[in-house]
Structure 1
Amino acid sequence: MIDNKKMCEILGAMAEKVQEQKDFLTELDNEIGDGDHGINLARGFAAVKEKMPSFADKDVGAILKETGMTLVSTVGGASGPLYGTAFMKAGMACKGMAEIGGKEFLAAFSAAVAGIKQRGKSEEGEKTMLDALCPAERALTEALGGGADLKEALGKAVDAAEEGLVHTKDIIATKGRASYLGERSLGHQDPGATSSLLLLQVFEAAL
């Protein structure tokens, strides 16, 4: 089970991972986007980390919601509203919960993915973060449905997200700044799908 203390630990690890991979994410974004993905995301998660002392007495849902609101207000570009929406929707799905297990995590993850689709008006197959997150959601659903524990199910989700990320190199972008490049976006992996995978890897490693 993931309680509020564990959730804070995971968010702290996410902040460290994003900071560590900031230049790599920005480099990917330089090729097909605005060149600010890593910088923006690192700024957002640094702000989340600063707020963490105030999370101590909050439930898991409230922590996720507060994280989302912080990301929306501190991350520029498209990724702020998208990641912010994802965390806020996940928080709403866990409203009032002191701890969450596999079933609750899946509900929160599905709510996050649905929120990204709605906010970005996008679907899987358009060279976005959804190309990592949608396969991860399917793998998570299948693994948990088959009786796997959350750690094992997240392992499957990470594998599926990795495959989805590799596949973004073969997709012509039709959403966001990358869509202006048309066929020139081929051969490049999507920065949002890359950061989504990184956050999932942090979650799995923390369990």
Structure 2
Amino acid sequence: LGRTLDFLRKNAANGLSMANLVAGLASVLCSLNSLADGAVARRLNACSALGAKLDDFADFTTFGLATALLLQPRGVLDGLLAIAYVMAVFARLCFLPSGIPFTYRGLPCPYASSLLVSTFLLSAGNVTLLRVTAAVMVLFMVDRGFYPHDKVLESQLWKKAVYAGGVVAVLFSPAPVASVYCLAWSTSYIVFPYAIWSCKTQPLPSPNAE
């Protein structure tokens, strides 16, 4: 018993670090999964009001609450930033409809979450960098810019290959490799949304669209 307690004491910090790593990878995997659930529902003709509500609730839990915990809030300002991030996800899901088919208004929260989680893993949890990244993602999520519905599993073959590669990287690659992959993916969508990720048949929204 004494040896067991001593082992647990010496490895408590390591255990928490591993839990952080697992949580980060799980969040990245959830980001990938979020891009697939809608496509599966449409393919199986199984869309429903309940499914849409469940999807929004799952997104809010994973990309809002769970991701905000990575900010490691320890004071008032940290707590306010975490709350702002969660509320940005809530606003993005509930109050920013675009009114244009297959078009989002404001950055979809899975991409913000994927970028933040990748930053967390690659920087070994650097709090300052995480806070800056989170603040920028809040601005992207609540702005009124347009982003295309990427429709990854319903579009070009190369996009399906990118998605499959992401799943393989998260499940079977070392954490740094998976993080770089997801960081590049999310950054490409944020910086070049229509140049890379829009469907060929999807029209660009009018600058005056409301």
**Normalised by the size of structure 2, how large is the TM-score?**
0.33
Structure exhibiting the larger radius of gyration computed from Cα positions: 2
Using structure 1 for the length normalisation, give the TM-score. 0.33
